[in-house]
């Protein structure tokens, strides 16, 4: 099946999160009402891994959420535990390290475990969280290999718990508008897409530069956004991929992972996407050229504010906190005892991981990889 049928409008809307944090809009990009805060208690979230994303984005966002709150932490660094307990008023009973983590099973304050660790650790902690009887949010990329994703999905299913991936942009209004413009063919069929995400990386000693921990270079880290962008504006699954590694202009720095990677997807409708990801220079853009016009987001994938325009003029949307919208949206569904929409679950995470691996295969072999099988 090549058409992105699971990414249906109905399912997409089922997952759209709580109201915008500034200039709240009453409807989403498809003109449907936005859900609101749920009655009753907020779900307790425990963050696993207190690195920069937890510290600078998720914890501050959890001070704004309506359907969830920061209830616990899991860290291997005692000094961080002390700091976070004070700063966020977290009781000692809700603080774990990687050895004591499984005891979270007995903690009724924690409903959801959010895994924010280096990529190679996602599988283990998602499986352990599910075995502890918690719902799970896992950061992108969901894992390194598709088989790991399957194990994570199976563990959550077995525990009768739900698994979401940290796809914050699915709750972001400019992104939702780009999805609508593309999927509803507002400017006619999409002919080609340019979807690229890259930045110049700092510290060469960090885990992102180590294949064993990251699974690869910029493709695993931010290239996944370019893959997502091409998929969500077309609303289709690619049928083939070609890819090329860029030159190593700094070979001492990029010993273990790629510096730059280019790839091209072909889609069933005839649309083609062209993408770049890089750790050597910045790019952040999603552009769709359609039969009767065009639309673009630039910047398209960062924390915002995102900006967009079309061949008819600027896109005007509220500026929101992506992480708060995402966590509120996920927790709203959990509070309602409903099933998470497919496009933010482990199934979607696994689709992306399969494509990331196909891109590497295409670049390594120089062959066009058939994705229809
Ligand atoms: P950081 O390096 O800043 O933090 C990772 C944390 O994981 C560390 O601080 C540490 O926390 C813990 N950790 C445990 N074992 C290791 C290890 N062997 N090496 C390094 N860290 C370890 O990474 P980020 O916070 O930037 O990224 C974490 C995850 O979040 C990644 O999967 C990344 O892709 C994703 N991410 C997603 C973003 C998004 O926009 N959705 C943006 C940024 C990141 P402690 O000291 O508490 O044990």
| pLDDT tens digits, 81-123 | 999 999 999 999 999 999 999 999 999 999 999 999 999 999 9
Q: Is 80 in the pocket of ligand 1 (CB under 6 A)?
A: yes
Name the CATH superfamily for 173-318+348-370.
Dihydrodipicolinate Reductase; domain 2 (3.30.360.10)
**Integer Cα distance of 185 and 279 in angstroms:** 33
Q: Is 166 in the pocket of ligand 1 (CB under 6 A)?
A: yes
Phi, psi of 178 (to 5 degrees): -65, -40
Phi, psi of 51 (to 5 degrees): -90, -155
Alpha carbons within 13 angstroms on the beta-carbon side of residue 343 total 28
| pLDDT tens digits, 341-362 | 999 999 999 999 999 999 999 9
Q: What pTM was computed for the model? A: 0.93
CA-proximal residue: ligand 1, atom 8 (nearest): 51
* CA-221 nearest atom, ligand 1: 34
**Is the pLDDT score of 195 beyond 60?**
yes
- Residue 9: the pLDDT is 34
Nearest CA to 138 out of 104, 161, 107, 105 is that of 161
Every domain range in the chain assigned CATH 3.40.50.720: 37-168
55 an active-site residue?
no
* CA-53 nearest atom, ligand 1: 25
Nearest CA to 44 out of 60, 16, 65 is that of 65
Q: Which of 225, 232, 279, 360 is catalytic?
A: 225
**Integer Cα distance of 311 and 292 in angstroms:** 9
Residue 214 vs residues 74, 121, 218, 256: alpha-carbon distances, Å: 20, 9, 9, 10
Q: Is 77 in the pocket of ligand 1 (CB under 6 A)?
A: yes
| pLDDT tens digits, 144-179 | 999 999 999 999 999 999 999 999 999 999 999 999
CB 319 within 8 A of CB 23: yes
Q: Which fold has domain 37-168?
A: Rossmann fold (3.40.50)
Q: Is 52 in the pocket of ligand 1 (CB under 6 A)?
A: yes
| pLDDT tens digits, 36-76 | 677 778 999 999 999 999 999 999 999 999 999 999 999 99
Every domain range in the chain assigned CATH 3.30.360.10: 173-318+348-370
**Which residue stretches of the chain are H helix?**
9-14, 52-53, 59-61, 78-88, 122-131, 146-158, 173-183, 211-214, 218, 224-234, 322-335, 346-365
SS3 363: helix
* CA-206 nearest atom, ligand 1: 2
**Integer Cα distance of 302 and 233 in angstroms:** 17
């Amino acid at each position: 099946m090549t058409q992105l049928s699971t990414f249906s409008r109905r399912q997409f809307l089922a997952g759209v999160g709580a109201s915008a944090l500034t200039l709240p809009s009453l409807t989403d990009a498809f003109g449907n009402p936005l859900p609101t805060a749920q009655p009753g208690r907020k779900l307790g979230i425990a963050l696993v891994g207190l690195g920069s994303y937890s510290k600078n984005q998720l914890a501050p966002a959890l001070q704004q959420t309506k359907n969830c709150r920061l209830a616990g932490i899991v860290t291997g660094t005692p000094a961080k535990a002390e700091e976070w307990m004070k700063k966020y008023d977290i009781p000692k009973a809700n603080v774990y390290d990687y050895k004591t983590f499984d005891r979270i099973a007995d903690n009724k304050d924690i409903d959801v475990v959010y895994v924010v660790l280096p990529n190679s650790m996602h599988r283990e902690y998602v499986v352990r969280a599910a075995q502890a009887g918690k719902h799970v949010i896992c950061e992108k990329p969901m894992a390194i290999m598709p088989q790991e994703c399957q194990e994570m999905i199976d563990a959550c299913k077995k525990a009768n718990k739900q698994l979401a991936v940290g796809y914050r942009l699915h709750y972001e209004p400019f992104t939702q508008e780009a999805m609508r413009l593309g999927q509803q063919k507002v400017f006619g069929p999409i002919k080609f897409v340019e979807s690229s995400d890259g930045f110049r990386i700092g510290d060469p000693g960090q885990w992102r530069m180590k294949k064993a921990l990251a699974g690869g270079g910029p493709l695993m880290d931010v290239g996944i956004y370019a893959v997502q962008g091409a998929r969500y504006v077309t609303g289709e699954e690619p049928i083939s991929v070609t890819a090329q590694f860029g030159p190593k202009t700094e070979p001492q720095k990029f010993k273990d992972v790629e510096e730059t990677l280019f790839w091209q997807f072909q889609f069933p409708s005839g649309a083609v996407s062209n993408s770049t990801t890089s750790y050597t220079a910045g790019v952040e853009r999603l552009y769709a050229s359609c039969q009767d016009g065009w639309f673009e987001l630039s910047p398209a994938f960062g924390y915002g504010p995102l900006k967009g325009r079309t061949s008819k003029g600027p896109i005007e949307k509220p500026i929101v906190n992506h992480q708060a919208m995402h966590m509120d949206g996920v927790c709203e569904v959990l509070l309602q005892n409903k099933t998470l929409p497919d496009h933010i679950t482990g199934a979607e995470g696994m689709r992306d991981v399969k494509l990331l691996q196909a891109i590497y295969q295409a670049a390594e072999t120089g062959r066009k990889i058939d994705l229809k099988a």
